[in-house]
Each structure stands twice: as structure tokens, then as C-alpha cells.
């Protein structure tokens, strides 16, 4: 079909695969995995529903009790309530295997125990869907500080052209393109559906890739839009966001932070006007908040049941008593959310998402008929990745994982930093000996060692070393474009080492002024939330291997199956322990759910009796 691929020599038997076959295979896998994901969600929903349902009954009971202070409800109402409770107790008794029950009563009991919670969860999920669908992509784009490409700049015109070409190749309307001025090389599709899809490309990627590679990368993104990945991504994140809302709700009695989150969501849902810039930003902030709060954090609870608190008022005791059963509810929900999402939901959804990436890769090969372009692009992007400020919560939408390599530990960035240091070092030497010599990049480590050695010698009081450091200080001041006085001086460094507070403060001020202010806080945030999406990306090696099968010329170093042996040995050794841990955790969750049920039942009975005894006539 294509003269290029036909001309490539085939050496020996290789397991080739046409991109159509690869697409079919990955589509089938997607289908299977989405069934698995749905099942995982349902399984996770069972303990959740079991825990939430009694909460709803408790709320209903209190409302009924309050209403009957003024308007006594008919006795038949209380009879019904009793019947419901009996069905529920029968089901619990069967679970505890203390009693036999007939199937019909069992089904009714299960419905009594599960349905209200399940309906609430599904309702929340629908609400989250509606909320974020309405919010659209504006907030994400604002958070990324995305801008329109400048058509009179060659590279950016090329980008716009390549997107158009790929859209034509795919027979799709061309998606809008936005640029982010980030040095990390990456690109993403952002949106809730093909209609509002935006391709977001970092400026760093434009600098790194040539036209063929750009074509491959963008073909992947365009194909991803065409395959409907945005809808899948939207569903996946909405499940996690629903978990976040659930956690916020069960935390609400205990913590101000969770109440704040909930209030923000309610306010957004009710009052925010569509399309305004502020509302878009708010939506993105909420999404970030919810995906993060799905974790197992108990700060709010610790604040409430803080036994070391100095203030011990009667009000606090009453409140703690009233809230006590909810502590178990809270822990049951958080534990089961954490356990099931960690062990089932996240893995199945991550696998599903990986298949979508492979599928988009295969489709990209179909569009460009040039697997080498995409392979080379992936290789380059992987070596040049880094956090994209503002894109943390949408990390899974990127072409390669934006997290994972810290900017500072990135050898390339480090090398650049050392280069600057070496240059300043050489410059300071030149100013002393009048013999300028350019720094050789090869012996950067030795230069760095020299700087440190001279520095410590100067600290120890060596006069020539001190003079050398002073010259270096002047060169550094020149390089940074600052007066020499503002640079930290040796006396300060020496004093700081001996614990002089004022000197330490001066040094800290200096380093704060000179480190890029945003970088520190941004990378902090990335480290927090990006771990959620680590498993959502197939490894570079596997992607390249699949592209190689479709005809790319990549050199793959084979590890001879050693990793498999290691994994096998590890799983044999640790498997029993892992299973034991899982069993213990399941037991713990069951205990938590049961105690939440029991305590809530007692609590409900107690409160109801209070009402009957004192307030009802």
C-alpha cells in the first residue's frame, strides 16, 4: 500500500501487526476493561451504600421526629418504619450467619439497606457530571494560562497547519489549538466532548520536535478526540470526583475545610453564571480539590476529637457524644473508598486508559502512515518531560506523563545549572589571571568539586581561597545582574555555619529572592496530586514496542525477561502476605461498616426515645 514500508527490508520473522489489527485489539480490550471498571465501581458501591443508607434513615427519622412535635404523624408511619428496620435487621442477621431468612425477606432487607445509599451515590455522580459538563474547559485553559497560537510565527503556524492536516487525515473537524509557554515538552487534549475539545501544546514541545514528530504527536491527540477518549476521561474523573464529594460530605460534621468545599460546590451549582471567567476558574479549582480530597486524610477528625485540647466545655462533650457514631461511618466510608479504589477501581481504570493510549497510537500510525515520527516524538517527550503548571488534575490527558521527573533531578536541567556555575567560576578566574578560558562541559563535575573545595577552604580561613571565592562572588553578581553588595558574602556563610541567626536569615532571603518564586510551590502541588495518575500511562518501552510492531524503526534493548523473573519471585514471596493484608483490611472494613450500622441504630433509638419522652404529646 505504501511504498516506504514495502521497501523496508524484513530481517527474519518478526511479529508484525497492522495498525488496523492493533486498533481492533485495543478496542476489544477497552470494552472488556470498561465492564471490569463498571463492576469495580459497583463492588465499591456496596460498602458505601451500606454505610450511607443508615445516615439517610437517621436524617429521615430526625425530620419525622421534629415534624411530629407539631403535627403528630399517624401511627401507621411508625409501623412502616419498624417494618423497614426489621427487614434490615434480618439481612444483617443473615450476614452474621446467626439466623436463616427466607429469600424474599432477604432481598427486601438488602434493598432496604442498599437502595437509598445507592440512589444517593448515583444521584451525586449525575450531579457531578452535570456540574462539570456545564463548567466546560474554560477553567482548565485558564489554569494552564493557555493562549492562542500566533500565526505569523513559523513554528506556531506549523503547529496550526499540522493539526489541520491531521484533522483532514482523520476526517474530523479541526479542533482548536492552544499554546502554553511551559519549558516542559508535552501536549494534551482537554475537553468534555469532541465539541469543546482543545489541543494544548507546550512551547517546549514545539522547540523539541521536527515536523514529522509533531505530526505523529498531534495525530495521536486528534485520533484520541476522534475515538471519544474525552468522554471516557470525563467518566473516569467524575467517578473520582464523586468519591471526593462523598468524603467531603461525611467529613462535613467534623471539619471546616470539608464544609468549605461542600459550600463551594453548592454555591457553584446554584448561583454561578455559565461562561464567566471566574466561574470557569472556580470549576477547575473544585475539580482539583475533589480529586485530591478523595484520599484518606483524617485531619478534620483529629481536630474534633482532639483529646489534648485545653478547652473542655460541656458543649464540646455533647457535640462529641452526638457525633460519635458518625466517626465510625466516616472511617468506614473512607476506608472502603481508599481500599477499593486503590485495589480495584484505579487499576482497572488505569488499564482502560492505557488501552486508549495504545489505541490512539495505532490510530496515529494510520493517520500519518509514519510510525517513526510518533516513536521519535514519544522518545523525545519522555526525556524532556516535566510538570506543567496548572495541569496537575488533568495529567492523564497528556501525551506522556507530565510528572515523574522532578525538574531539579532532571539531569539535563541540572547540567544547565552546572554549566552556569562553571561559566561564572571560569569568569572569576579570568578576572584574576587575565587569561580567559571557556568552560569545558566535559569536566563539569570536577569544576563543581573545585568550587565546593575552595568554598570550604575559605571557610576554614585559607586566605587565597577566600580571595578566589570573593572573585567568584563578583562574577556571580555580574551574571545575575546585581550589585556585589547584594550577594551573600563569605562572612555570612561562615557565620551561618556556626549558627548565627541573622546571617542565616540574610542567606535565606537571598535564596528566596533568586529561586524562581512560582516553581517551588507549583512543583509541590504536582508532587501531591500527580501520583493519582501515575498508572494511567503505559511505559515508553511498551509504546515503542507496539510501534515497532507496526513498522517503526526503534532499537529496543531487550531485558531478556529478567524483570518477569524478579516479579514472579517477588509475588511468590510476598503474595501470601499481600493476601493476608487484603483479608485483614476487608475484615477491618466489615467491622467498621457493622459498627457504623450498630452505633447508628443505637443512636437513632436513643434520639427517638428522647423526642418521644420529652417533646411528643
Partner 1 sequence: MSAPSLIVVGLIAAVLLIWFIAVFNSLVALRVRVQNAWADIDVQLKRRHDLVPNLVGAVQGYLAHERSTLEAVTEARTKAVASSSETVAHRAQAESALSGALSNLFAVAEQYPQLRAVESVQLLQEQLTSTENRIAFARQFYNDEVMKFNTAQATFPRNLFAGVFGFSPTAMFVAPDAERANVQIKA
Could you give the residue ranges of the DSSP H alpha helices within 411-561?
411-433, 444-460, 463-480, 490-497, 501-514, 517-529, 540-549
String marking each residue 315-354 x if it binds partner 1 according to CB under 8 A:
----------------------------------------
> Which residue, 367 or 592, is less far from partner 1 as judged by CB?
367
Nearer to partner 1, 162 or 550 (CB): 162
Please enumerate, as own/partner, the contacts of 40-47 that have beta carbons within 8 Å and a separation of 24 or more: 40/340, 40/344, 40/345, 40/348, 40/349, 41/239, 41/345, 43/340, 43/344, 44/336, 44/337, 44/340, 44/341, 44/344, 44/345, 45/118, 45/121, 46/114, 47/332, 47/336, 47/340, 47/589, 47/593
- Contacting residue, 154, 442, 463, 613, with partner 1 by CB under 8 A: 154
Minimum CB–partner distance for residue 168 and partner 1 (Å): 5
Per-residue mark of binding to partner 1, 369-408 (x: CB under 8 A): x---------------------------------------
d(CA 610, CA 591): 28
Residue recorded with cell 563535575: 445
Quick one: CA dihedral 134, 138, 141, 145, positive or negative? negative
Identify the residue among 200, 367, 447, 496 touching partner 1 (CB under 8 A): 367
The whole-angstrom separation of Cα 388 and Cα 392 is 7
- Choices 3-11, 348-356, 413-421, 547-555 (CB under 8 A): range interacting with partner 1: 3-11
**How are strands ordered across the β-sheet holding 198-202?**
176-180, 198-202, 187-190
Residue 378 CB, nearest approach to partner 1 (Å): 21
Please report whether residue 169 would count as binding partner 1 according to CB under 8 A. yes
The binder of partner 1 chosen from 22, 58, 166, 351 (CB under 8 A): 166
Q: Determine the distance from the C-alpha atom of residue 15 to the mean position of all C-alpha atoms in its chain, rounded to a whole number.
A: 36
Q: How far is CA 368 from the centre of its chain?
A: 31
- Interhelix angle 277-293/229-251, rounded to 10 degrees, is 70
| The dihedral sign for the CA sequence 601, 606, 610, 616 | positive
Minimum distance of partner 1 from residue 435's CB (angstroms): 38
- The stretch among 131-139, 157-165, 381-389, 500-508 that binds partner 1 (CB under 8 A) is 157-165
- By CB under 8 A, tell whether 501 contacts partner 1: no
In the region spanning residues 67 to 86, those forming contacts with partner 1, defined by CB under 8 A, are none
- Does 3 interact with partner 1 (rule: CB under 8 A)? yes
Nearest-CA neighbor of 474 among 432, 418, 519, 437?
432
171 binds partner 1 (CB under 8 A): yes
Q: Which of 157, 519, 605, 610 binds partner 1 (CB under 8 A)?
A: 157
Binds partner 1 (CB under 8 A): choice among 164, 383, 419, 595: 164
Give the phi and the psi of residue 179 in degrees, each rounded to 5: -115, 145
Q: Rule CB under 8 A: is residue 143 a binding residue for partner 1?
A: no
Nearest to partner 1 of 55, 162 (CB atom): 162
Q: How many CA atoms lie within 13 A of 350 on its CB side?
A: 18
- Angle at which helices 540-549 and 371-383 cross, to 10°: 170
Nearer to partner 1, 194 or 404 (CB): 194
Give the range of 169-177, 194-202, 403-411, 463-471 binding partner 1 by CB under 8 A. 169-177
* Candidate segments 155-163, 202-210, 343-351, 597-605, binder of partner 1 by CB under 8 A: 155-163
Q: Establish if 165 lies at the interface with partner 1 (CB under 8 A).
A: yes
Nearer to partner 1, 162 or 374 (CB): 162
Query: Minimal distance in Å, beta carbon 14 to partner 1?
Result: 21
Nearer to partner 1, 174 or 504 (CB): 174
Contact assessment for residue 30 and residue 359, using Cβ atoms and an 8 Å cutoff: yes
- Cell numbers 488499564 label which residue? 351
Q: Helix H segments across 294-370?
A: 299-304, 314-340, 346-368
Q: Is 158 among the residues that bind partner 1 (CB under 8 A)?
A: yes
Candidate ranges 107-115, 159-167, 175-183, 531-539; the one touching partner 1 (CB under 8 A): 159-167
Question: Residues 261, 248: contact at Cβ < 8 Å?
Answer: yes
The residue within the footprint of partner 1, chosen from 76, 98, 152, 518 (CB under 8 A), is 152
Q: Does 363 bind partner 1 (CB under 8 A)?
A: no
Q: Which one among 39, 59, 67, 168 touches partner 1, defined by CB under 8 A? A: 168
Which residues ranging from 6 to 35 are in contact with partner 1 (CB under 8 A)? Answer: 7
Q: What element of type H or E holds 190? A: strand 187-190
Stretch binding partner 1 (CB under 8 A), from 29-37, 111-119, 163-171, 378-386? 163-171
Does residue number 162 form part of the binding site for partner 1 (CB under 8 A)? yes
Question: Which DSSP string do the residues of 459-473 spell out, in sequence order?
Answer: HHT-HHHHHHHHHHH
From 402, 241, 372, 322, select the one nearest 606 (Cα to Cα): 322
Interface residue list for partner 1 (CB under 8 A): 3-4, 7, 152, 154, 157-158, 161-162, 164-166, 168-171, 366-367, 369
Amino acid at each position: 500500500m505504501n511504498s516506504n514500508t514495502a521497501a523496508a527490508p524484513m530481517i527474519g520473522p518478526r511479529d508484525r501487526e497492522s495498525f488496523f489489527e492493533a486498533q481492533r485489539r485495543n478496542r476489544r480490550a477497552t470494552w472488556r476493561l470498561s465492564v471490569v471498571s463498571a463492576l469495580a465501581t459497583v463492588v465499591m458501591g456496596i460498602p458505601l451504600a451500606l454505610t450511607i443508607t443508615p445516615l439517610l434513615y437517621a436524617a429521615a427519622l430526625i425530620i419525622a421526629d421534629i415534624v411530629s412535635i407539631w403535627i403528630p404523624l399517624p401511627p401507621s408511619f411508625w409501623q412502616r418504619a419498624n417494618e423497614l428496620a426489621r427487614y434490615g435487621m434480618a439481612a444483617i442477621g443473615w450476614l452474621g450467619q446467626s439466623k436463616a431468612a427466607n429469600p424474599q425477606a432477604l432481598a427486601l432487607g438488602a434493598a432496604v439497606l442498599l437502595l437509598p445509599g445507592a440512589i444517593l451515590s448515583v444521584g451525586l455522580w449525575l450531579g457531578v457530571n452535570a456540574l462539570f459538563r456545564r463548567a466546560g474547559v474554560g477553567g482548565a485553559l485558564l489554569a494552564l494560562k493557555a493562549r492562542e497560537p500566533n500565526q505569523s510565527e513559523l513554528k506556531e503556524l506549523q503547529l496550526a497547519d499540522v493539526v489541520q492536516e491531521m484533522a483532514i487525515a482523520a476526517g474530523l473537524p479541526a479542533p482548536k489549538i492552544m499554546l502554553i509557554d511551559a519549558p516542559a515538552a508535552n501536549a494534551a487534549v482537554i475537553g468534555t466532548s469532541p465539541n469543546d475539545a482543545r489541543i494544548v501544546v507546550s512551547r517546549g514541545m514545539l522547540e523539541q520536535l521536527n515536523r514529522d514528530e509533531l505530526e505523529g504527536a498531534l495525530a495521536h491527540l486528534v485520533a484520541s478526540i476522534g475515538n471519544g477518549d474525552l468522554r471516557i476521561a470525563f467518566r473516569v474523573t467524575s467517578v473520582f470526583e464523586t468519591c471526593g464529594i462523598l468524603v467531603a460530605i461525611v467529613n462535613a460534621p467534623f471539619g471546616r475545610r470539608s464544609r468549605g468545599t461542600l459550600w463551594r460546590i453548592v454555591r457553584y451549582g446554584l448561583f454561578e453564571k455559565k461562561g464567566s471567567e471566574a466561574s470557569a476558574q472556580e470549576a477547575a479549582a473544585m475539580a482539583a480539590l475533589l480529586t485530591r480530597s478523595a484520599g484518606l486524610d483524617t485531619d478534620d477528625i483529629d481536630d474534633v476529637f482532639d483529646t489534648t485540647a485545653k478547652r473542655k466545655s460541656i458543649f464540646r462533650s455533647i457535640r462529641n457524644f452526638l457525633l460519635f457514631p458518625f466517626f465510625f461511618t466516616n472511617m468506614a466510608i473512607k476506608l472502603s473508598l481508599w481500599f477499593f479504589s486503590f485495589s480495584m477501581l484505579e487499576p482497572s481504570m488505569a488499564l482502560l486508559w492505557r488501552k486508549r493510549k495504545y489505541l490512539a497510537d495505532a490510530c496515529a500510525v494510520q493517520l500519518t502512515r509514519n510510525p517513526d515520527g510518533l516513536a521519535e516524538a514519544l522518545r523525545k517527550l519522555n526525556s524532556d518531560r516535566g510538570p506543567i503548571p496548572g495541569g496537575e488534575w488533568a495529567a492523564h490527558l497528556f501525551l506522556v506523563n507530565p510528572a515523574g521527573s522532578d525538574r531539579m533531578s532532571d539531569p539535563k536541567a541540572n547540567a544547565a545549572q552546572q554549566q552556569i556555575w562553571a561559566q561564572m567560576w571560569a569568569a572569576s578566574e579570568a578576572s584574576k589571571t587575565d587569561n580567559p578560558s571557556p568552560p569545558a562541559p566535559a569536566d563539569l563535575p570536577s569544576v563543581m568539586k573545585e568550587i565546593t573545595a575552595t568554598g570550604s577552604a575559605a571557610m576554614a580561613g585559607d586566605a587565597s581561597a577566600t580571595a578566589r571565592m570573593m572573585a567568584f562572588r563578583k562574577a556571580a553578581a555580574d551574571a545575575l545582574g546585581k550589585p556585589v553588595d547584594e550577594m551573600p558574602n563569605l562572612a555570612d556563610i561562615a557565620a551561618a555555619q556556626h549558627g548565627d541567626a541573622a546571617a542565616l536569615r540574610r542567606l535565606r532571603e537571598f535564596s528566596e529572592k533568586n529561586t524562581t518564586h512560582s516553581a517551588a510551590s507549583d512543583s509541590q502541588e504536582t508532587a501531591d496530586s500527580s501520583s493519582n495518575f501515575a498508572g494511567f500511562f503505559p511505559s515508553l518501552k511498551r509504546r515503542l514496542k507496539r510501534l515497532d510492531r507496526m513498522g517503526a524503526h526503534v532499537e529496543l534493548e531487550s531485558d531478556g525477561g529478567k524483570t518477569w523473573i524478579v516479579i514472579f519471585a517477588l509475588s511468590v514471596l510476598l503474595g501470601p502476605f499481600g493476601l493476608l493484608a487484603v483479608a485483614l483490611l476487608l475484615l477491618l472494613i466489615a467491622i467498621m461498616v457493622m459498627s457504623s450500622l450498630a452505633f447508628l441504630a443505637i443512636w437513632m433509638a436513643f434520639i427517638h426515645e428522647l423526642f418521644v419522652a420529652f417533646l411528643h404529646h
